[in-house]
Amino acid sequence: MAGQRTRRRIPEATVARLPVYLRILSEQFDAEVTSISSEQLADFAGLNVAKVRKDLSYLGSYGTRGVGYDIEVLVYQIRRELGLTHDWHVVIVGAGNLGQALAGYNGFGDRGFPVGGIVDVDAAKVGSVIGGVRVRHIDELAKVVQARNISIGVIATPGSAAQEAADALVAAGVTSLLNFAPSVIGVPHGISVRKVDLAVELQILSYYEQRRATAAPASGLRAVPGEPRRGVTA
């Protein structure tokens, strides 16, 4: 229809990088910087400049030669594509240590994801207040979801309870899940799931640390006392 913007489908890899660009651009905007080049953005993000330009082209933004990109406009374009032009309330299932930490993290609300509810099966936790939100029993999950029009749920339960939590969220009408539990969950078609496994991320880091440790003796040239290091002339 005339007047409507044709939306291009953005690749998942690009979508995953857009929040990184948004954080960088928001920091620059807060510092009263008004424009940024693709080279500068690529440097801040630790990415190839061609990839950054390609990513931004999906937004319909190509910058101006010699000037770069208008930061305020680019922030708006990214927020628009990520659906961040309004807040998305989230509900957290699990009020244990992890759930409490997530509920108390101000970064969610600051970035447009205020915690709209916390539920748990433990009667001892029900009624307590975390981050200004009162914990309710999981039997009230549907009421919490409907009251706040919530579509995003966060699973912060033990692994053994993750599938039950996912089923309850889907039954309540939640369509996007962020799973912090150390287990894989099954969901119906059309439900979006993102998994965050902190232990797995640490194991990946340990792999790189091991590589550094084993590579150091082979590649590191130690200077012998009294002997000039290779490549150094007096």
Nearest partner of 72 among 108, 18, 30, 111, judged by Cα? 30
Pairing of strands 176-179, 192-195: parallel
Is 0.85 surpassed by the pTM of this model?
A: no
Instruction: Give the pLDDT score at 67.
Output: 83
- Residue 217: the pLDDT is 61
* Residue 72 near residue 29, CB atoms below 8 Å: yes
Q: Is 185 within 8 Å of 167 (Cβ atoms)?
A: no
CATH of the domain at 127: 3.40.50.720
- Beta pairing, strands 129-130 & 133-137: antiparallel
DSSP H or E segment with residue 137:
strand 133-137
Per the structure, how many domains does the chain have? 2
Name the stretches of the chain with pLDDT < 50.
1-5, 221-234
Does residue 205 sit within a domain? Answer: no
Distance CA 147, CA 85 (A): 21
Task: Print burial letters for 24-37: b (CB count within 10 Å at least 16), e (below 16).
Answer: bbeebeeeeeebbb
Do residue 194 and residue 105 come from a single domain?
yes
Nearest C-alpha neighbor of 155 from the set 121, 192, 180, 120: 180
Tell whether 232 is covered by a domain.
no
The token pair at 213 is: 């440790």
Average pLDDT of every residue of the chain = 88
pLDDT at 228: 41
Q: Which domain holds residue 63?
A: 12-81
Whether 5 is covered by a domain: the verdict is no
Kindly state whether residue 164 falls inside one of the protein's structural domains. yes
Closest CA to 73 of 83, 63, 82, 65: 63
